[in-house]
Amino acid sequence: MKKQQLERLPLRARRSNRDTRIQSLDIIIVAILIVYAFLIIFPFWNAFVISISTEHAYLHSNLLLWPTEIDFSAYQRVFNNNQLWSGFGITMILLIGGTIYQLFFTVITGYALSRKNWTGKNLVMNMILVTMFFGGGMVPYYCLIRDLGMMNTIWVMIIPGAIDTFNMLLMRNYFASLPAEMEESAKIDGANDIIIFVKVFLPLSLPMLATVGLFFAVGNWNSWYNAMLFIPDNKKIWPLQMVLKTMITKVSSTIETGTVTEDFSEGLTMASIFFTIVPMMCFYPFLQRFFVKGIVVGAIKG
Amino acid sequence: MELTTIARRNNPFRKLGGKIFRSKYLIMMIVPAVIFYALFCYVPMYGILMAFQDYIPRFGVFGSPWIGFDNFATVFKEPRFWLAFRNTIFISSIKIVISFLGAVTIALLLNELRMRRAKKTIQTIVTFPHFLSWVVVSGFVFSLFSYNGAINSLAEIMGGSRSNFLGDKYFFFGMIFASDIWKEAGWGSIIYLATMAGIPQDQYEAADIDGATRLQKIWHITLPGIKPVAILLLIMSVGGVLSAGFDQVLNLGNNDLIREDVNIIDTYIYYHAITKSGNEGIGTAIGLFKSVISFTLVIIVDRIAKACGERGII
């Protein structure tokens, strides 16, 4: 879509019908959406109820829709669990260090590629675009990480994430959409490219930086894939989600036979799940517009 | 004197040097990216040579013996690989269809919902699961469908009996589709909703004057309005038809009863070539097979879309 069209796109849909009478169609729509929202919420609720129930209540009540025997000991065990806290610490390192690192390299690359024809720009651009459609696959990548000596180190969760092509192109398109005259006039005033980038373009792109930064932050918060592949032996530097994954796998292998372990691991797992998602649940309603903006701008332009 | 100055100014090498010098800061900014893509994208592409070798880590890609297409022959003779291949095609083609239908339906419902407040709240609720990892979602699924879980309890109340859902490979596929809809449909609807918001209002006004009903307006204005975006997104999803969702299948299929039956290509590579050493060549061969097919599909679909007058992606 052209730029002008994009700028006319409001993020919220306008009312498409001026008729304000309530029709039966409205009631059907509301009913379907309420059922759908309920289906989305139910797993959260179910997990929450299990996490604050006793094992006795979990095993003997029929449908645990409402907590019958409230017991917060699962949360107590979560807060006393060293592995979870260590995972939390590692995840915080990824969240802060990793996000800044990714944002820095993604944004400077996007900026450089958004500027007018400098020598070699097209070559670099094509080199990057090829990687979007073709790659070496999982095994050569694994061998590369192994040969670089990054196995079982924390660096494997940070360094290879430096540039995310999709977000980089998002930034590039955003910088390219800002008026080029600003660059020209700053050049006439004697500014070089780095000063123009830092003093002119960065301050203008804060909303986009927030969007891209938040996507990186969520990715780092949810990071487990790299840990599973490349840190199989070093539990000390497992991030939170990887710790959670091993807990869930352990529980699922006991619950499929109907036996429950002594310390009610189902309750502990559900409490740990809440430990990992509560921060996101708190922030999401306020940050939603940034995420929505990212996906809309990215999909329409890219 | 003058002539030499002109000659110097027209010297192509000097010109190039001057151009590079003028953009030296931009080039400095791009250097990390060049190193990054060369190292983490192009070195693995070079590693594809392993597909044609009996790879021995000690000797590396330079020293391992060449064996031609033997790795491919080994893989193609393996029934479990073809099972993974069929699972992949099955899972991703159904997922493409249902996630498309789900996202469009939700977008239409939200677009027709006339209460602003409720719309915003529902949108917040239904887009949130997108930001959960598959680890968390698998925790939810296991707790809902476990032997003592809510679904089995519900079945018992309705007069049925408890059953072991998680060990059933046919149930597994249903679980994959349901959890995919649960997690991604709300998020997928955003892009369609934004497109619907961009449809010019005068079309709806003209339809009002002609006495069109709401359903007619949806059918004749809203749906054609989102068609280009829908086609674009479908084209992009076809390229990923051989990636049926590694994270999802790995987390949801991770128990001994079904693990080998529900493999997709990516989890097959993971279980057979990464957690077991000595199969690097075979794993690379499968990866190459997958990349080549995906790449070909993208090209074909793109050509078809362009031939039909839609905007392509390449």
Nearest to A294 by CA among A221, A215, A217: A215
- In this model, does residue B15 exceed pLDDT 80? no
CA–CA dist B23, A112 (Å, integer): 10
Average pLDDT over residues B141-146: 89
* Identity of residue B40: F
- d(CA A78, nearest CA chain B) in Å: 16
pLDDT of residue B159: 82
Helix axes A265-301, A206-221, angle to 10 degrees: 150
Mean pLDDT of the residues in chain A: 85
Contact B25 A192 (CB under 8 A): yes
Q: Of the candidates A120, A128, A97, A155, which has an alpha carbon nearest to the alpha carbon of residue B35? A: A128
Angle at A218 between CA A144 and CA B120, to 5 degrees: 150
Bridge partners of B161? none
Under 8 Å between Cβ of A253 and A232: no
Nearest-CA distance from A70 to chain B in Å? Answer: 18
The residues that bridge with B66 in the sheet, in sequence order, are B53
Q: Which of B27, B100, B109, B143 to mutate to test the interface with A (most CBs of A within 10 A)?
A: B143
> Which residue from A26, A225, A291 is facing B114, i.e. has the nearest CB?
A26
pLDDT of residue A2: 45
Cβ contact, residue pair A295, B187, below 8 Å: yes
Which of A124, A139, A216 has the most B C-beta neighbours within 10 Å, making it the best mutation to test the interface with B? A139
Tokens standing for residue A288: 């939603």
Note whether B135 contacts A128, CB cutoff 8 Å.
no
B257–A256 CB contact, under 8 Å: yes
Cβ density class A230-240: b for 16+ within 10 Å, e for less: bbeeeeebbbb
Instruction: Specify the 3-state DSSP secondary structure of B84.
Output: helix
**Whole-angstrom distance, CA of residue A26 vs CA of residue A15:** 13
- Per-residue model confidence (pLDDT) at position A10: 52
Tell me how close the Cα of A127 comes to any Cα of chain B, in angstroms: 8
* Interface contacts A/B by beta carbons within 8 Å: 325
- Give residue-wise pLDDT tens across range B54-78: 888 788 778 888 888 999 999 999 9
* pLDDT above 70 for A7: no
Distance from CA of A206 to the nearest CA of B (A): 19
Over residues A104-122, the pLDDT tens digits come to 999 999 999 998 878 888 9
In which band, very low, low, confident or very high, does the pLDDT at B20 lie, cut at 50, 70 and 90? confident
Is the predicted pLDDT of residue A38 greater than 90, yes or no?
yes
pLDDT band at A214 (very low <50, low <70, confident <90, very high): very high
Higher pLDDT: A188 or B254? It is: A188
pLDDT at B295 > cutoff 80: yes
Residue B291 to residue A137, Cβ atoms within 8 A: yes
Report the residue of chain B nearest A25, measured CA to CA: B214
Chain B residue with CA closest to A187: the answer is B22
When scoring A58, A143, A147, A193 by the number of chain B Cβ atoms within 10 A, the one with the most, hence best to mutate, is: A143
Residues β-bridged to residue A70: A53
The pair of three-digit structure tokens given for residue B66, joined into one six-digit string: 């060449």
Contact at CB, B269 and A138, closer than 8 angstroms:
yes
Contact between chains at B222 and A16 (C-beta distance less than 8 A)? yes
pLDDT tens, A47-83? Answer: 999 888 888 777 777 666 777 778 888 888 888 888 8
Q: Residues with Cβ < 8 Å from B76, sequence gap 6 or more?
A: B82
Q: How far is B262 from chain A (nearest CA, A)?
A: 16
Phi and psi for A152 in degrees, rounded to 5?
60, 30
The whole-angstrom distance between B6's CA and the closest CA on chain A is 23
Residue B15: closest C-alpha in chain A? A119
Q: Residue A135: closest CA among chain B residues belongs to which residue?
A: B45
Given A137, A147, A192, which is nearest B288 (Cβ)? A137
Predicted pLDDT at A1? 43
Kindly indicate whether the domain formed by A82-302 is annotated with CATH number 1.10.150.120: no
**What are the contacts of A60-63 at 24+ separation with CB within 8 A?**
A62/B153, A62/B156, A62/B157, A63/B150, A63/B153, A63/B154, A63/B157
The pairs formed by B272-281 with CB atoms below 8 angstroms and a separation of 24 or more are: B273/A138, B273/A139, B274/A138, B274/A139, B274/A142, B274/A229, B277/B57, B280/A139, B280/A143, B280/B50, B280/B55, B280/B57, B281/B50, B281/B51, B281/B52, B281/B53, B281/B54, B281/B55, B281/B67, B281/B71
- Asked if A264 and A74 count as a contact pair (C-beta separation under 8 A), the reply is yes
| Cα–Cα distances in angstroms (integers) from residue B62 to residues A181, B46, B53, in the given order | 52, 11, 10
Under the banding of pLDDT at 50, 70 and 90, the label for residue A180 is: confident
Q: Each residue of A220-247: pLDDT tens digit? A: 999 999 999 999 888 899 999 999 999 8
DSSP result, B217-240? HIIIIIHHHHHHHHHHHHHHHHHT
| Beta-carbon contacts of residue A88 (< 8 Å; ≥ 6 apart) | A240, A275
Give percent above pLDDT 90 in chain A: 52
- What's the rounded Cα separation, in Å, for the pair B150 and B144? 5
| β partners of residue B53 | B66
Yes or no, beta carbons of A47 and B143 under 8 Å apart: yes
Contact across the interface for A137 and B138, Cβ inside 8 Å: no
Enumerate the CATH 1.10.3720.10 domain ranges in chain A, comma separated: 82-302
Chain B residues whose beta carbon lies within 8 Å of the beta carbon of residue A37 = 122, 125-126
* DSSP helix/strand/coil, B161: coil
Out of A142, A252, A285, closest to residue B274 by CB: A142
Count of all residues that appear for chain A in the document: 302
| Euclidean distance between CA atoms B101 and B223, whole angstroms | 12
Residue of A nearest to B59 (CA): A147
Residues of A in contact with B26 (CB under 8 A): 112, 115, 118, 193
Architecture of domain B78-307: Orthogonal Bundle (1.10)
Contact A296/A9 with Cβ under 8 angstroms? Answer: yes
**Tell me, what amino acid is at A260?**
V
Longest CA pairwise span in chain B (Å): 104
* pLDDT of res. A109: 96
d(CA B204, CA B200): 8
Nearest CA in chain B to A297: B191
DSSP B313: -
Percent of chain B clearing pLDDT 70 (strictly above): 95
| Residue among B26, B113, B239 whose CB faces A30 most closely | B113
Confidence of residue B2 (pLDDT cuts 50, 70, 90): low
**Interchain proximity B270–A62, CB inside 8 Å:** no
- Chain B CB contacts of A108 under 8 Å are 29, 32-33
Please report, for chain B, the start and end positions of each structural domain, with discontinuous segments joined by +: 2-48, 78-307
**Partner residue opposite A162 with nearest CB, options B36, B140, B288:** B36
Closest chain A C-alpha to B1 CA, distance in angstroms = 30
Check if the beta carbon of residue B110 is closer than 8 Å to that of residue B193. Answer: yes
Nearest to A135 among B44, B60, B154 (CB): B44
Q: How far is A101 from chain B (nearest CA, A)?
A: 12
For residue A31, give how far its alpha carbon lies from the nearest alpha carbon of chain B (Å): 10
Q: Which helix (H) or strand (E) holds B284?
A: helix B280-307
